[in-house]
C-alpha cells in the first residue's frame, strides 16, 4: 500500500469536483470525467428486475444464496450471445458484480510472485491492484513502477504497442476498445497479441467492457482469435452496455483449456477463489442481465449505446473543429485529446477553472497519457451540447 503514489484516480477527481463546487457554488458543473452512464435503463429490463424483486416477497419467488458462479440461465445466455461460434461454454462463464471486482479477484489468484504488462495508457485498476497485491517494485522514472512492463500506445504507433520487443511477463492486461484511447484492436493486432502470449507463456487478461461500442469489424472478444482459449481470460461487464454502473453485474470467462505450465486448469483455481471470496452476484441484477439478453432487451440497449456514440461524435467533431488533435470516440464512449507539450493535470485544472467541466487528466492512465485529456460522452444530450459550446468559447 505504501508504494501507491496517489489515491485511486476517479475518487481523486471526485474530490477536485467537490472543491470546485465549493469554490463556485453557483456554477453548473458538467461531469465528463468518470465514465458513468447517464441515461435510463430500458423499461423491459427494469421491469424484469422489479418483478423478480417483488417475487422475493412471496413463498414461491423467494430465493436465498444462488450458485457462486452465477445462475445457469444467465451463464448460458452470455455464452450464447457474446461468444456464439467461439466455443466458449456456459460453464466457463463466471457471473460477477463487475469487471473491476473480477480484476481484483484475478489478482488474488495470481498472487504477488508474477510480473505483469499493461498498455500505457490504460484503465488504472490493473496497475493499482498489481501494486496492492505486491507484484511491483518501487515507482521509478516517469511514474513507472519497476517490474511492470509498460506497452506504450501513442499516436505514433496508432495506439497499438510493438509486441515484438516486449519483455516476457506472466500476465498481459489488455483492454479493447482501450480505455482511455478508444482504440479497438484489429483482428490482425489481436492475432499478434495471442501469438506473443503463446510464445512467452503469458496469460492475457482481456477486458472487453467497451466491446458494444465497436463500430468496425474489430473482434468483440479475444475468443474470436483461434488459439486464444489456451492463453486468455476475458473480463466484461453490463455497466457500459446496459447502464448497470449502479446495478452491478459483470462476468469473467476462463476457458477449460487455459492451463498453468504444470498443466493444472486455471478454471479450477478461479472457481475456488470465487467460492471463498464471493457469494455470487445479486439475484435481482442477474434477472436484469437476463432481460438484457432477450431479443427485445438487446434491441432496446442498442438505442442507448447509439445515443452515447452520437454524443461522442458531437464532442469529437466540436473539438476537431476548434483545431485540437482528437482520437477515439468512434468505437468508444471516450474522446482522447492531445495537448502537445502540456501537463495533463494543468490542462485539467485550467479547463475546470474556465469552463466548469470535469474531464480526466491523461497521465492518470499511465505515463504515456501525459499531455492528453480524456473526455467522456456519458451525459445528457443538452449537457454535451452545452459542454461543446463552452469548449468552443474556451479554446477559440
Ligand atoms: C472510467 O474509466 O471512467 C471507468 O470506466 C470507471 C469504471 O468503470 O471504474
Tell me the best of 35, 121, 180 to mutate to test the pocket of ligand 1, counting ligand atoms within 8 Å of each CB and taking the most.
35
DSSP 183: P
* Cell 504515456, residue located: 368
Question: Does the C-beta of 35 come closer than 6 Å to ligand 1?
Answer: yes
Q: Tell me if residue 333 falls in helix, strand or coil.
A: coil
Ligand 1 centroid–CA 396 distance in Å is 30
Ligand 1 centroid–CA 58 distance in Å is 37
Ligand 1 centroid–CA 235 distance in Å is 14
Length of the chain (residues)? 396
Question: Does the C-beta of 121 come closer than 6 Å to ligand 1?
Answer: no
| Buried-exposed string 310-320: b where 16+ CB fall within 10 A, e elsewhere | ebbebbbebbe
Provide the CATH topology of domain 47-294: 3.40.640
Which residue's CA lies nearest to atom 6 of ligand 1? Answer: 35
Q: Tell me if residue 372 falls in helix, strand or coil.
A: strand
Tell me the best of 10, 235, 244, 377 to mutate to test the pocket of ligand 1, counting ligand atoms within 8 Å of each CB and taking the most.
10
Ligand 1 centroid–CA 239 distance in Å is 9
How far apart, in whole angstroms, are the C-alpha atoms of residue 246 and residue 38?
Answer: 11
- Per-position pLDDT tens, the chain of length 396: 999 988 999 999 999 999 999 999 999 999 999 999 999 999 999 999 999 999 999 999 999 999 999 999 999 999 999 999 999 999 999 999 999 999 999 999 999 999 999 999 999 999 999 999 999 999 998 889 999 999 999 999 999 999 999 999 999 999 999 999 999 999 999 999 999 999 999 999 999 999 999 999 999 999 999 999 999 999 999 999 999 999 999 999 999 999 999 999 999 999 999 999 999 999 999 999 999 999 999 999 999 999 999 999 999 999 999 999 999 999 999 999 999 999 999 999 999 999 999 999 999 999 999 999 999 999 999 999 999 999 999 998
DSSP 145: B
Question: Does the C-beta of 135 come closer than 6 Å to ligand 1?
Answer: no
What are the structural domain ranges in the chain? 9-41+297-395, 47-294
DSSP bridge pairs for 375: 335
Provide the CATH topology of domain 9-41+297-395: 3.90.1150
Which residue from 232, 224, 235 is spatially nearest to 187, judged by alpha carbons? 224
Ligand 1 centroid–CA 37 distance in Å is 10
Amino acid at each position: 500500500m505504501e508504494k501507491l503514489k496517489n489515491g485511486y484516480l476517479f475518487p481523486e477527481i471526485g474530490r477536485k469536483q467537490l472543491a470546485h463546487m465549493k469554490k463556485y457554488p453557483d456554477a453548473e458543473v458538467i461531469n465528463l470525467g468518470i465514465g458513468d452512464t447517464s441515461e435510463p435503463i430500458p423499461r423491459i429490463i427494469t421491469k424484469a428486475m422489479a418483478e423478480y424483486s417483488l417475487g422475493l416477497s412471496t413463498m414461491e419467488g423467494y430465493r436465498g444464496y444462488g450458485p457462486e458462479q452465477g445462475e445457469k440461465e444467465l451463464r448460458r445466455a452470455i455464452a450464447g450471445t457474446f461468444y456464439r461460434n467461439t466455443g466458449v461454454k456456459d460453464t466457463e462463464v463466471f457471473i460477477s458484480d463487475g469487471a473491476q471486482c473480477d480484476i481484483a479477484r484475478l489478482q488474488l489468484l495470481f498472487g504477488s510472485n508474477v510480473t505483469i504488462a499493461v498498455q500505457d495508457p490504460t484503465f488504472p485498476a490493473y496497475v493499482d491492484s498489481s501494486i496492492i497485491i505486491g507484484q511491483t517494485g518501487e515507482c521509478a522514472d516517469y511514474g513507472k513502477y519497476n517490474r511492470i512492463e509498460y506497452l506504450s500506445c501513442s499516436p505514433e504507433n496508432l495506439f497499438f504497442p510493438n509486441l515484438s520487443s516486449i519483455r516476457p511477463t506472466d500476465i498481459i492486461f489488455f483492454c479493447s476498445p482501450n480505455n482511455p484511447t478508444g482504440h479497438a484492436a484489429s483482428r490482425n493486432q489481436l492475432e499478434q497479441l495471442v501469438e506473443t502470449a503463446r510464445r512467452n507463456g503469458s496469460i492475457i487478461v482481456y477486458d472487453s467492457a467497451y466491446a458494444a461500442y465497436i463500430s468496425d469489424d474489430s473482434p468483440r472478444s479475444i475468443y474470436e482469435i483461434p488459439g486464444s482459449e489456451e492463453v486468455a481470460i476475458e473480463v466484461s461487464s453490463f455497466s457500459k452496455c446496459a447502464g448497470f454502473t449502479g446495478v452491478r453485474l459483470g462476468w469473467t470467462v476462463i476457458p477449460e483449456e487455459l492451463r498453468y505450465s504444470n498443466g493444472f486448469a486455471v478454471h479450477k483455481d478461479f472457481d475456488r477463489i470465487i467460492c471463498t471470496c464471493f457469494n455470487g452476484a445479486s439475484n435481482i441484477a442477474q434477472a436484469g442481465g437476463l432481460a438484457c439478453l432477450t431479443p427485445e432487451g438487446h434491441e432496446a440497449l442498442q438505442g442507448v449505446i447509439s445515443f452515447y456514440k452520437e454524443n461522442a461524435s458531437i464532442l469529437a467533431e466540436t473539438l476537431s473543429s476548434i483545431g485540437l488533435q482528437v482520437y477515439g470516440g468512434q468505437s468508444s464512449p471516450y474522446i482522447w485529446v492531445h495537448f502537445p507539450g502540456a501537463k495533463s493535470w494543468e490542462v485539467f485544472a485550467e479547463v475546470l477553472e474556465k469552463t466548469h467541466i470535469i474531464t480526466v487528466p491523461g497521465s492518470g492512465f499511465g505515463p504515456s497519457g501525459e499531455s492528453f485529456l480524456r473526455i467522456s460522452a456519458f451525459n445528457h444530450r443538452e449537457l454535451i451540447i452545452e459542454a461543446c459550446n463552452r469548449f468552443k468559447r474556451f479554446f477559440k
